[in-house]
Structure 1
Amino acid sequence: MTSSPHIVIVGAGVLGLCAAVELRRRGRSVVVVDPGETNASAVAAGMIAPAMEAAIDAASPAHAALLRAGRDLWPDFAQAAGIVLARRPAEWRGGDAAGMAARMRTLGFQARLDGDRVVTDEDCQVDPGQALAAMRRTLGEAVVAGRVEAVARADDGWRVTTADRTLDAQALVLATGADGAPAGLPEAARRLIEAIQPIRGQIGITKQSLADHVVRGPGAYVAPMGPGAVVGATMEPGRRDTAPDAAAGERLLQAAWRVLNRTPGTLEVEWRAGVRGASSDGLPLAGAAPGGPGLFMALAPRRNGWLLGPLIGGVVADAIEGRAASPHARALDPGRF
């Protein structure tokens, strides 16, 4: 079967779906090819947390501004896509609380210091399962199942081949996470994808509620997730395996109890692991890709895929439409490498 959408997006994680929703909002014909496996976007806490992330990473002012800009796009995007955006305080406990508060304030974020606790109202959260499902509902039949076997230049765009269909499109967006490059990709784009570093992350989902807002501290965080909670998270560069690690889970639980300042108790925990991608400078690859016209990337967000999803979707859509780039597009340009 052959069809001809204007744009084909390969990958149905947060970046691929955010780009598709944004393009659909602009009236574009889009098809998202979903390989079907559980992706790293589902193995996440859904943090939209510029203040905490910037402080934890000792981000530069420019990086903090990028994270803030990503957060600021979420209310409108969530409403358009049917995503529930939870606005709750976020708290840091233990460790260098005064230092955390100072870093947040220096970067322009509001923070309240109370002993060994820092509280900010700058951050929010989505439930990744609900958010992914909402975007898929918004896109409807535009999301198709299949694993891309090859891509190739066509006369006026790109040809994407799966086991049961061929898609000819004017533009091709690679949102393939930490996966390898599809066969047939131009060499310059393939090299960029092969340079993406895999980072394994493990979280635990509990049936029991542990906190009514996000609580972070040395070694762990705890956040509401549905009727229960999510405990996370490891960051293990260079690993691609996704089988949960019992020892890593136990370390996370012990750190979580310390963060909560509670005596360890019995929990039912479902451990999950996923693999994210990161570029060498820690920033995503978003926009026009090397290798010829009509090729674009939405890749390598490290641990900020949910936070930056709508911003990256907008950067990719602007590039496809030839619009003036947003103020943050240059920092994400795949051509910087």
Structure 2
Amino acid sequence: MTSSSCIVIVGAGVLGLCTAFELNRRGRSVVVIDPGEANASAVAAGMIAPAMEAAIDDASAERAALFRASRDLWPDFAQAAGITLARRPAEWRGGDAGGIAARMRALGFEARMNGDRVVTDEDYQVDPGLALAAMKAVLGDAVVTGRVEAVARVGDSWRVQTDRAELLTDAVVLATGAERAVSGLPRAVRQRVEAIQPIRGQIGSTTQALAAHVVRGPGAYVAPMGTGVVVGATMEPGRRDTAPDAAAGERLVQAAWWVLGRTPEPLEIEWRAGVRGATADGLPLAGAAVGGPGLFMALAPRRNGWLLGPVVGQVVADAIEGRAASPHARALDPGRF
């Protein structure tokens, strides 16, 4: 198969699919190359949590504004994509609750104390598996299974060689997470991809309904998912292995029981691990790639891929279409380093 009119998006995690969905609803033709294996976006709790994330990381006012702006895009985005958006309280228990509440309020987020706990209504959640499936359903045949083996500049276009087909396109979006650089990328682009740090994250799921809303605390969180909950999550820089670690799982479970304030009891938990990418400042690379005309980036969101998906999609789509940059494009500019 050869195409010269479609925008090729390499990767089918949350940032790749959000970008594809945004372009699709602007009337642009896209092809998403999906490796067809579980990615870090699926191994997640689906938190869209600007208030908690900003407070936990002691974020700047500018970063908090970016988090809030992307969260505010979610209701319309979810409705258009057929994604169920859970809007329920999120809670922080123990470990400097007063400081967490103060930082939320200082950044303009609503927060209230409930005894020694902090509660906010600013954070949302999606089911990652269902949300990825919903976006793929809307995109339909535009999502194709394959693995990109190489890219090459051909005149003013790019040739994308997969293990199943060859495509010719004017625009390629690299949405490859923490994967190694694709062969054939210009040196400047390859260097930026290779500078992305892999971070392994382990999360567990159980059918036991331990919490009706997201509960966070030092060392763990418990979040509703399906008929049960997920317990997470580790952040292990430099690791690319995805085999579950029993010791790490036990530490998460013990921390989760402490956060919940409950006596430990036997749990049947299915553990999974994924590898996400992170930049030096913790924000994704989104926009035109430096040193590669016709190349764009939508990758490396650290732990905020689900939160930042819609704003990344808009920033990348604007860059491809040559529109005026959004107010948050500079913060995500791949050339900022």
- 1:25 Cα deviation from its structure 2 partner: 0.3
Structure 1 unmatched runs, 5+: none
Indicate whether 1:163 and 2:166 are aligned: no
Determine if contact 1:249/1:271 at 8 Å carries over to the other structure: yes
Pairwise CA RMSD: 0.7
How many angstroms apart in 2 are the aligned matches of 1:6 and 1:132?
Answer: 21
- Secondary structure at the aligned position of 2:204 is classed as strand
Q: Name 1:61's counterpart in structure 2.
A: 61
Determine if contact 1:209/1:228 at 8 Å carries over to the other structure: yes
Deviation track 1:145-178 (CA, whole Å, cap 9, x = no partner) reads: 1000100112232110012201111100000000
- 1:266 Cα deviation from its structure 2 partner: 1.3
- Secondary structure at the aligned position of 2:45 is classed as coil
Structure 2 unmatched runs, 5+: none
Q: Name 2:8's counterpart in structure 1.
A: 8
Q: Name 1:265's counterpart in structure 2.
A: 265
Determine if contact 1:201/1:233 at 8 Å carries over to the other structure: yes
- 1:305 Cα deviation from its structure 2 partner: 0.2
- Secondary structure at the aligned position of 2:231 is classed as strand
How many angstroms apart in 1 are the aligned matches of 2:298 and 2:5?
Answer: 19
- 1:293 Cα deviation from its structure 2 partner: 1.7
Q: Name 2:213's counterpart in structure 1.
A: 213
How many angstroms apart in 1 are the aligned matches of 2:158 and 2:254?
Answer: 50
- Secondary structure at the aligned position of 2:86 is classed as coil
Indicate whether 1:91 and 2:91 are aligned: yes
Equivalent position amino acid for 2:92 in 1: W
TM-score, structure 1 normalization: 0.99
Q: Name 2:133's counterpart in structure 1.
A: 133
- Secondary structure at the aligned position of 1:204 is classed as strand
Determine if contact 1:5/1:167 at 8 Å carries over to the other structure: no
- 1:127 Cα deviation from its structure 2 partner: 0.3
- 1:58 Cα deviation from its structure 2 partner: 0.5
- Secondary structure at the aligned position of 2:51 is classed as helix
- 1:298 Cα deviation from its structure 2 partner: 0.3
How many angstroms apart in 1 are the aligned matches of 2:157 and 2:77?
Answer: 29
- 1:5 Cα deviation from its structure 2 partner: 3.6
Determine if contact 1:95/1:116 at 8 Å carries over to the other structure: no
Determine if contact 1:96/1:116 at 8 Å carries over to the other structure: no
Equivalent position amino acid for 1:113 in 2: M
Determine if contact 2:189/2:292 at 8 Å carries over to the other structure: no
Determine if contact 1:21/1:139 at 8 Å carries over to the other structure: yes
How many angstroms apart in 1 are the aligned matches of 2:205 and 2:292?
Answer: 43
Q: Name 1:300's counterpart in structure 2.
A: 300
Q: Name 1:274's counterpart in structure 2.
A: 274
Deviation track 1:68-110 (CA, whole Å, cap 9, x = no partner) reads: 1110000000011110000000000111111110000000000
- Secondary structure at the aligned position of 2:229 is classed as strand
- 1:265 Cα deviation from its structure 2 partner: 1.0
Determine if contact 1:5/1:31 at 8 Å carries over to the other structure: no
- Secondary structure at the aligned position of 1:193 is classed as helix
- 1:292 Cα deviation from its structure 2 partner: 2.8
Q: Name 1:311's counterpart in structure 2.
A: 311
Q: Give the number of equivalent residue pairs.
A: 337
Deviation track 1:251-272 (CA, whole Å, cap 9, x = no partner) reads: 0000000000011111110001
Deviation track 1:35-70 (CA, whole Å, cap 9, x = no partner) reads: 112100000000000000000000011111111111
- Secondary structure at the aligned position of 2:148 is classed as coil
How many angstroms apart in 2 are the aligned matches of 1:226 and 1:156?
Answer: 47
Equivalent position amino acid for 1:238 in 2: G
- 1:4 Cα deviation from its structure 2 partner: 2.9
Q: How does 1:95-110 map to 2 (within 5 A)?
A: 95-110=95-110
- 1:322 Cα deviation from its structure 2 partner: 0.3
How many angstroms apart in 2 are the aligned matches of 1:314 and 1:126?
Answer: 19
Q: Quote the sequence identity (%).
A: 80
How many angstroms apart in 2 are the aligned matches of 1:166 and 1:4?
Answer: 11
- 1:314 Cα deviation from its structure 2 partner: 0.4
Determine if contact 1:288/1:297 at 8 Å carries over to the other structure: yes
Q: How does 1:211-290 map to 2 (within 5 A)?
A: 211-290=211-290
Equivalent position amino acid for 1:272 in 2: R
How many angstroms apart in 1 are the aligned matches of 2:244 and 2:102?
Answer: 36
